[in-house]
């Protein structure tokens, strides 16, 4: 202990010099004197003590010296006596309230003086030090729901995406030009909390859909801002109206269910053409089933006609359009469609989902098959799907329905498709799919209960979401921009016939679950990670459609589709 004390005394001058650089003095007290007197002992710098002094043992105390300079309110040279309170906190602090040190770190000037949600002024040519033009006044925003309708032809789906034309992209740009979205928020829809009730695939139409976001509804100089937005939109995209909703409103989560309608020509139910690749694979597989008589397409009234033996695809299409479905076949479709009602595992009717994923469980409230109706030369059938929610590419349900009925496959195959085995189900063309409207019964009941005690002029009053208020405008829009457009494209391009011919030309094993027993054979099961021989490949032209051009030339693409891998969060965002 004595040697340690001597070493400390000899090192005192160097220690004192170091501490003085940091405005700290080391003082000590005579323990013997302090015991004899109650008054504070005199303070002496440690440098006054000479090495080898015989003075009694000393105890040192470190005290902070107040800096001479006056610190700015935003600067922190050292720790304060107490942790900062909520009213005095400045910058980043730890859990105890002490300021976090930024020693050794570069000064953060990246966002200095910048308000969140504002574009970088340097990009607009306004440099630091230059005189800036006065900013536009900040107008109040309100959480609003836009009731819209659109013809999806020519758009790459509903959801906004970079570098492609989408419904939300066109709508958002129109809102910016009309003044409902400020220039500060024009660069990113996330800033206004953009959401949708139902997402639609490329080329899919909607008579009614809902998008929600924070909008400026009191635009200076504009009396009817909805009409102003419609002026900025193309005729195939319409805003039916706007509803002031609760601030917590989420378009997708607040939606109870959706209604979709699928239209298709009845000639899709004609059996495969004799001699086609699909018919040969079907007959070969059916012959291996004992006691089963396979479907004989050549015996069907359509293919038994003499003119069908040497006919071209165009000749067949002309005859198909004049063909009419029987009442027995309509009832067969209705019985098979009933298999979709209820809660089931729809992993085979979407992409990127494993059998054990709980999100595959979806509930279908009702499936309705209308009576056939003739428009022009073609007979059409509509199928109404009312479901809680729909997965990405769930129009595969329509494909399973049509393909099983045209091949006389028992309806129990639908139950098989809910099982763990993975099979390939083609997608029906996007042209025939129409989103009727989303339903918000739970939200409407909640706001109705709140509104009972409020006047319509009260700031907390929230109207119900009701598409029926715009029924007349919606029906007129559907006839002009959806039904007429759909039939025009089919008459011109024969999209549905081309899709069915792509099915019939396939001679591999992927579609062998379409058989007289309605059982999925091992040859048709897709195993993860295993390469298949002659897999069925879909074509993108059945997803993308367009308005007829002036020359009447088809503009749909014909390359093969490659299914991109999507993570779970991305899949959830693309569903509706």
Kind of pairing between the strands at 342-345 and 195-196: unpaired
pLDDT digits (tens, 9 = 90+) for 544-556: 655 344 344 334 4
The CB density around residue 483, as the number of other CB atoms within 10 Å, is: 17
The DSSP element (H or E) to which 259 belongs, if any, is strand 257-265
pLDDT of residue 127: 47
3-state SS of 397-414?
A: HHHHHHHHHHCCCCCHHH
* DSSP per-residue string spanning 454-510: S-TTSTT------GGGGHHHHHHHIIIIIIHHHHHHHHHH-HHHHHHHHHHT--SST
For CA atoms 496, 502, 506, 509, the dihedral sign is negative
Please write down the long-range contacts of 17-21, taking CB distance under 8 Å and 24 or more positions apart.
Answer: 19/62
Distance CA 263, CA 471 (A): 20
The CB density around residue 343, as the number of other CB atoms within 10 Å, is: 10
Task: Show the low-confidence residues of the chain (pLDDT under 50).
Answer: 26, 28-37, 43, 46-84, 86-89, 110-127, 547-559, 561-567, 570-571, 574
pLDDT of residue 154: 80
The DSSP element (H or E) to which 384 belongs, if any, is strand 378-387
pLDDT of residue 92: 59
Q: Are 403 and 508 in contact (CB under 8 A)?
A: no
Q: Which residues pair with 213 in a beta bridge?
A: 144
Helix (H), strand (E) counts: the chain: 15, 13
For CA atoms 83, 87, 92, 95, the dihedral sign is positive
Task: Indicate if 201 belongs to the active site.
Answer: yes
pLDDT of residue 169: 93
SS3 295: coil
Q: Are 543 and 203 in contact (CB under 8 A)?
A: yes
CA 351 to the chain's CA centroid: 15
Q: Are 405 and 332 in contact (CB under 8 A)?
A: yes
Alpha helices in 31-86 (DSSP H): 31-36
Burial state string for 312-339 with b = 16 or more CB within 10 A and e = fewer than 16: eeeebbebbbeeebeeeebebbeebbeb
Which among 184, 187, 188, 201 is annotated as catalytic?
A: 201
Q: Which residues pair with 243 in a beta bridge?
A: 145
Question: Any idea what DSSP says for residue 50?
Answer: P
CA 509 to the chain's CA centroid: 34
Distance CA 12, CA 26 (A): 10
For CA atoms 81, 84, 88, 92, the dihedral sign is positive
Q: Are 388 and 362 in contact (CB under 8 A)?
A: yes
Q: What are the angstrom distances between the C-alpha of 404 and each of 269, 472, 501, 529? A: 9, 37, 16, 28
Spatial neighbors of 187 by CB under 8 A, at least 6 apart, are: 119
Query: 230: alpha, beta or left, given left = phi > 0 and alpha = psi -120 to 50?
Result: alpha
* DSSP per-residue string spanning 111-170: TTTPPTT---GGGGT--TTSPPPPPPPPPP-EEEEEEEEE--TTSS-SS--TTS--HHHH
Query: pTM for the full model?
Result: 0.72
The CB density around residue 154, as the number of other CB atoms within 10 Å, is: 15
Q: Are 216 and 181 in contact (CB under 8 A)?
A: yes
Q: Are 231 and 225 in contact (CB under 8 A)?
A: no
């Amino acid at each position: 202990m004595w040697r340690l004390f001597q070493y400390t005394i000899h090192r005192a001058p160097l220690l004192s010099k170091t501490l003085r650089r940091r405005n700290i003095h080391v003082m000590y007290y005579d323990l013997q004197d302090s015991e004899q007197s109650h008054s504070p002992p005199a303070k002496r710098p440690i440098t006054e003590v000479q090495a080898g002094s015989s003075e009694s043992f000393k105890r040192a105390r470190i005290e902070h010296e107040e800096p001479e300079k006056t610190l700015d309110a935003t600067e922190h040279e050292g720790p304060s006596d107490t942790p900062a309170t909520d009213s005095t906190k400045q910058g980043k602090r730890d859990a105890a309230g002490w300021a976090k040190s930024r020693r050794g770190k570069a000064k953060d000037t990246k966002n200095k003086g910048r308000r969140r949600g504002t574009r970088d002024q340097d990009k607009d040519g306004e440099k630091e030090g230059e005189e800036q033009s006065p900013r536009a006044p900040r107008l109040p925003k309100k959480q609003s729901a836009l009731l819209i309708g659109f013809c999806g032809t020519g758009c790459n789906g509903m959801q906004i995406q970079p570098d492609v034309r989408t419904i939300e992209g066109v709508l958002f740009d129109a809102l910016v030009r009309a003044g409902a979205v400020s220039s500060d928020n024009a660069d990113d829809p996330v800033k206004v909390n953009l959401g949708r009730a139902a997402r639609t695939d490329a080329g899919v139409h909607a008579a009614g859909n809902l998008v929600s976001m924070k909008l400026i509804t009191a635009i200076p100089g504009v009396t009817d801002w909805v009409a102003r937005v419609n002026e900025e939109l193309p005729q195939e995209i319409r805003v039916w109206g706007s509803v002031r909703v609760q601030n917590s409103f989420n378009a997708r989560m607040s939606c109870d269910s959706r209604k979709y309608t699928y239209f298709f020509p009845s000639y899709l139910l004609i059996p495969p053409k004799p001699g086609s690749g699909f018919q040969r694979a079907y007959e070969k597989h059916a012959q291996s089933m004992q006691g089963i008589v396979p479907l004989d397409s050549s015996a069907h009234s359509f293919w038994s006609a003499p003119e069908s033996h040497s006919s071209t695809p165009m000749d067949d299409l002309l005859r198909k359009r004049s063909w009419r479905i029987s009442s027995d076949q309509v009832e067969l479709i209705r019985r098979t469609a009933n298999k979709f009602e209820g809660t089931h595992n729809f992993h085979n009717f979407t992409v990127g989902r494993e059998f054990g994923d709980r999100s595959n469980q979806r509930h279908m409230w009702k499936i309705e098959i209308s009576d056939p109706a003739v428009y022009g030369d073609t007979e059409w059938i509509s199928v109404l799907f009312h479901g809680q929610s729909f997965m990405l590419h769930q129009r595969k349900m329509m494909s399973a329905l049509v393909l099983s009925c045209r091949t006389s496959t028992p309806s129990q195959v639908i139950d098989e498709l809910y099982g763990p085995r993975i099979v390939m189900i083609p997608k029906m063309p996007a042209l025939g799919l129409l989103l009727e409207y989303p339903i918000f019964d739970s939200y409407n009941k909640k706001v109705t209960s709140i509104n009972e005690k409020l006047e319509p002029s009260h700031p907390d009053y929230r109207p119900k979401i009701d598409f029926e208020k715009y029924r007349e405008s919606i029906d007129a829009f559907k006839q002009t921009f959806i039904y007429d457009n759909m039939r025009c494209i089919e008459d011109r391009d024969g999209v549905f016939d081309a899709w069915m011919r792509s099915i019939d030309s396939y001679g591999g094993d992927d579609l062998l679950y379409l058989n007289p027993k309605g059982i999925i054979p091992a040859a048709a099961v897709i195993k993860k990670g295993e390469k298949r021989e002659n897999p069925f490949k879909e074509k993108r032209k059945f997803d993308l459609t367009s308005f007829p051009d002036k020359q009447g030339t088809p503009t749909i693409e014909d390359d093969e589709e490659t299914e991109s891998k999507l993570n779970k969060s991305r899949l959830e965002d693309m569903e509706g």
